[in-house]
A and B are shown apart, each in its own frame.
Chain A
Amino acid sequence: MTKHLSIGCALLAATALTLPAQAQTPQNTMVMAWNLDAISNFDPAQIGEVVTNELITNICDSLVALDMENESEVVPWLAESWEVSDDNMSITFNMRTDAVHPSGNPVTAHDLVWSMTRVLELGFGNAAMLTSYGFTVENAIESFVALDDHTFQLNLSDPFPISIIMQAVVSGRVGHVLDSVYLKDKEVDGDWANDYLTTNTACVGPYHLRQWSAGEVVVLEANDNWWGDGPATPRWIIRHVPEAGSQRLMLEQGEIDIARSLGAEDIISMQDNPNVVPASTLNHQIFHMSFQTGREPFDNDLVRHAFRYMFDYDALADTVMAFQGIPRHTVVPYGAFAALDREEGAPFYLDLDKARELLEEAGITEGFTASLYIAPGPFAPEVAQHLQANAAELGITINIEQMASAQLFSALRGREFDLTLSSWQTNIAHAHGMLERHATNPDNDFDSQLAMYPSWRKSWYRPDFNERVRAALFETDEERQLEMYRQLQLDHMEQAAGAYLFQQYNNAVLRSNVEDWKWHAFRVFYREAHKN
């Protein structure tokens, strides 16, 4: 046995020590490390989180696309052109005729009708992207019309601004064109092929999903039948590497080309490394604290407002939130249409005396205890502890409770929390995107279960805001509209059921030979990136 042992040891030592110093990734393959735990599904109607959203937008083309350089500009894509009717109640899209699904079926307007109808019928979170603009299961037949194989007509129920419809509806996840002919065969018990699409994709786009091994890897491969020019890098391997430290090591060793989940300190410490380049883009994602206004004392506007003076935004931005976000206290992200500027959009600062005054004004003279739920993540625990320490000076005891995200979701949906820290992302570069979810609440009844509205989760119901948000949207005079949005944001900032804290960055660190890494707040364009 001892002899075997020594041979085994020698063999192991020999192979380990002769390891090539640098493991290079293949030239035709882009290797990216990311935390892929959130992926659970590839059905565009169901996808609701950042990672799969990024993947699916590189797999499925939508009717129109967002410009690569400008996140608020819509450009022709599967629709080569479109006309808006004179009454602004209908848009007619002329679709390209050379697009073919991987199955060989042509891409048609009927596919789109089917794809959009199923979003409504399935009723996942994404359905709200349609119902928010007046589309319902009942009016779907009149709203989504295939005039012929390659002409699609979208009929509106209200004169919504066309620019918003173009961004929110036909360029996003609900505008992905699925292969309806192929998928109808895959339906089980009228599930609109939801089951099949959990692990498969069936749509036209620059890449197709070659492999998804949960907790391991996602592989995308160029779609040879795609109508556009083939992607610059034919294969993308996205490896699940949950540890930031591991990602950094792999990046430095050249084992991956792109790292997506690095922390601030890792990025800072790699600044002198000539082999890597950091990249970041401001997301339309706001990190915020939610208050349950159905519970005392958070039903009081003044109490909630006091909390806004309990964060040292600048100090956090320089330390814990470095490379992670910038202070942002209005719910509307910087970069969106009608958003407050950097200064006006972040007026609050750490001032415990002011917070104390506000609390006293609210009639709170004694301390109280509240629990703060957070999901384990890169900076939420630090921000939570920062608040905890500041609140403690005012006699407020905050008990932090970390929980799995599944558990946090249940608490949010059941309105069973005092305080939570979380992020919310919108899909359009327009003030309405955030305000519609955070400042309006169509029905505050618990039974309505409108969990897609953060305002509903926080039991925050203000009929005047409902009206003002709608009025601002329909205002046709742009100057007046801008003023309405400005006033809305200023009022919302003080009364909202959330304390909005930071607008988040999307970070990546690339090997320096990676070129044309194109991205903005809503899209990452895999098809452009390549290595030299």
Chain B
Amino acid sequence: MADASNLARPSLTGRRWYRRSVATARILLTVAITMLGLITLTFFIGRVLPFDPVVAILGDDSSREAYDRVYRQLGLDRPLYEQFFTYMRDVLSFDFGRSLSSGRPVIDDITRVFPATVELALLSIFFGVAIGVPLGVAAAARQGSWIDQLIRVFALIGFSAPNFWLGLVGLAVFFAGLGWVGGPGRLSTFYQFDIEIRTGLILIDSALMQRWDIFQDAVSRLVLPVGILAYGAMAFIARMTRSFMLEQLSQEYIIAARAKGVSRTAVIWVHAFPNIAVQLVTVIALAFGFLLEGAVLTETVFAWPGLGRYMTTALLRGDMNAVLGCVIVIGLIFITLNLLCDLFYRSFDPRTR
């Protein structure tokens, strides 16, 4: 905001630049306010929970002296507004405090568990897009046909199935029964110490080390959770693709193109598809955001050491620092994704340009 005054000089490019930076500043301000709201909400949720943070640290049988000491250490004896400002200050400097469940700074924990979730989410979104988009297009191209109905029901089942249940059934059938896939967890114990963590994404790390046996083990464990999460993402993406495509296909330019004798496939992929691509990116980003936060129960079932499980365990233990830290990180990612989509939309969509 401070440099906005410098730009107030009236030159043509300057004025345009000024307008643009005002718009950007506005967006950033919006983001800042949202973040502030998020922090406030998390703080107050932390306050109303019936968990005594002192008891959560000390267990149920400490002496009165120890209790009072920790109570003061946590600053709980100070007025609420003071605690709030301290909290705000810490969070703004990315200090989420220390986790009760691990004894380490929350931010360290998050950087440790986050790659596991990202690996799941990235792969799931990849397959969700790779399968969902063609299915959606195919359904739209033959609207009302049995293919359309089949794809629709297939997608709706993906929408409707409780994924923790699918996970349990999947493990029972494909791991226990048939032995086709690997078990719970990211990696067999056998490889626990062979892997050198660089990116935290085991597929990449093992590929970098050229340890294809580890790679294979990791893949065999990713198949099920990724399959289940990808199914949900695919369902969402296929449905949205179908709607967007139908809207395009009813446009006059498409009808005109068809009338000129352009083939059906060409109309769909050459004329209509590029026009829905921008909208699709938004949808995919949204689906990715849901995957990041939505893997909570899947991670529980697959003993997946990711963010979702970390957050749930923390909440059930009354480890509020960890919960709030995770919520803020997820919120930040969510807001950033939204923002990026917004900007992307603005700069590429022909209608808003």
Which A residue sits closest to B318, measured CB to CB? A406
Which residues of chain A in 1-50 are interfacial with respect to chain B, using CB atoms and an 8 Å cutoff?
1-2, 4-5, 8, 12, 15-19, 21, 23-26, 29, 31, 37, 39-41, 46, 48-49
- Interface positions, chain A 445-459, Cβ under 8 Å from B, are 447-452
Residue of B nearest to A376 (CB): B316
Contacts of B127 in A (CB 8 A): 8
Q: Which of B89-97, B147-155, B175-183, B343-351 faces chain A? A: B175-183
Complex contacts, B65 vs chain A, CB 8 Å = 123
B299 to chain A, nearest CB (A): 10
Q: Does B300 contact A (CB under 8 A)?
A: yes
* A404 and B67 contact, CB distance less than 8 A: no
Are A407 and B318 neighbours in the complex by a CB distance under 8 Å? Answer: yes
A268–chain B nearest beta-carbon distance, Å: 17
Query: B183, A255: Cβ atoms under 8 Å?
Result: yes
Partner of B63, one of A41, A215, A452: A452
**A16-B219, A24-B190, A125-B59 are known contacts. Are A240 and B52 too (CB-CB below 8 A)?**
no
Q: Which of B62, B168, B179, B217 contacts A125 (CB 8 A)?
A: B62
Answer yes or no: B134 CB below 8 A from chain A CBs: yes
CA distance A124 to B63 in the complex (A): 6
Q: Is there contact, CB below 8 Å, between B66 and A410?
A: no
Given the complex, which residues of B lie within 8 Å of A12, measured CB to CB? 219, 223
Q: A122 at interface (Cβ–Cβ under 8 A)? A: yes
- Chain B residue numbers with a CB within 8 Å of A122 are 66
A18 to B113: give the CA distance in the assembly, Å.
29
> How many residues on B have C-beta within 8 angstroms of the other chain's C-beta atoms?
66
- B residues 85-121 with Cβ under 8 Å of A? 99-104, 109, 112-113
**Known A5-B130, A407-B50: A49·B59 in contact at CB below 8 Å:** yes
Question: With A2-B134, A23-B190 given, is the CB distance from A250 to B183 under 8 Å?
Answer: yes
Residues of chain A lying within 8 A (CB to CB) of residue B313? 37, 215
Cβ A413 vs Cβ B189 within 8 A? no
Set A19, A40, A217, A452: member contacting B182, Cβ < 8 A:
A19
Interface centre among B130, B184, B223, B309 (most CB of A within 10 A): B184
Instruction: Tell whether B317 is near chain A: CB-to-CB under 8 Å.
Output: yes
Residues from chain B with a CB closer than 8 A to the CB of A48 are: 59, 61
Sorting the interface of chain A by its residue count into under 10, 10 to 19, 20 to 34 or 35 or more gives: 35 or more
B130 touches A8 (CB 8 A): yes
Q: A25 CA to B59 CA in the complex, in Å?
A: 35
B4 within 8 A of A: no
Chain A, residue nearest B189 (CB)? A31
Chain A residues with CB under 8 A of B126: 8
The answer to whether the Cβ of A139 comes within 8 Å of any Cβ in the partner chain is no
Contact B61 A15 (CB under 8 A): no
Would A409 and B52 be within 8 Å (CB), given that A1-B130, A25-B189, A241-B303 are in contact?
A: yes
A1 touches B51 (CB 8 A): no
Which residues of chain A (120-151) have a CB below 8 Å from chain B? 122-125, 127-128
Chain A residues closer than 8 Å to B183, beta-carbon distance: 246, 249-250, 253, 255
A40 touches B189 (CB 8 A): no
Chain A residues, Cβ within 8 Å of B303: 239-243, 246
Report B-chain residues with C-beta under 8 Å of the C-beta of A15.
215-216, 219-220
**Given known contacts A124-B58, A128-B63, A213-B112, A413 and B216 CB-to-CB distance under 8 angstroms:** no
How far is it, in angstroms, between the C-alpha of A18 and the C-alpha of B216 when the chains are bound? 9
B64 to chain A, nearest CB (A): 4
Contact call A406/B51, Cβ cutoff below 8 A = yes
Interface assignment of B331: CB less than 8 Å from any CB of chain A: no
**Residue B310 lies at the interface, judged by CB distance under 8 Å to chain A:** yes
Cross-chain contact A19 with B181 (CB below 8 angstroms): yes
> Is A163 among interface residues, defined by CB-CB distance under 8 A?
no
Complex-state Cα separation, A405 to B184, whole angstroms: 25
Instruction: Among A237, A250, A413, A447, point to the contact of B192 (Cβ < 8 A).
Output: A237
CB atoms of A409 and B103 under 8 A apart: no
B60 touches A413 (CB 8 A): yes
B292 part of interface (Cβ distance < 8 Å): no
Residues of A at the B interface (CB closer than 8 Å) are 1-2, 4-5, 8, 12, 15-19, 21, 23-26, 29, 31, 37, 39-41, 46, 48-49, 122-125, 127-128, 198-199, 212-217, 219, 237, 239-243, 245-246, 249-250, 252-253, 255-256, 404-407, 409-410, 412-414, 447-452
Pull 23 A–B residue pairs with CB atoms less than 8 Å apart, ordered by A: A8-B127, A15-B215, A16-B180, A16-B181, A19-B181, A23-B217, A24-B190, A25-B189, A29-B189, A128-B61, A213-B102, A240-B303, A240-B305, A245-B168, A250-B184, A253-B175, A253-B183, A404-B317, A406-B51, A406-B316, A412-B60, A413-B55, A447-B64
- B residues near A (Cβ < 8 Å) are 50-52, 55-56, 58-67, 69, 99-104, 109, 112-113, 126-127, 130-131, 133-134, 168, 171-172, 175-176, 179-185, 188-190, 192, 215-217, 219-220, 223, 300-303, 305, 309-310, 313, 315-319
Top 5 closest pairs, chain A to chain B, by CB:
A406-B318, A214-B102, A198-B103, A125-B61, A123-B66
Other A-B pairs, 12, CB within 8 Å; known A123-B62, A215-B310, A404-B318? A15-B216, A24-B190, A26-B190, A31-B189, A214-B104, A250-B184, A252-B176, A255-B188, A406-B51, A406-B319, A410-B52, A449-B63
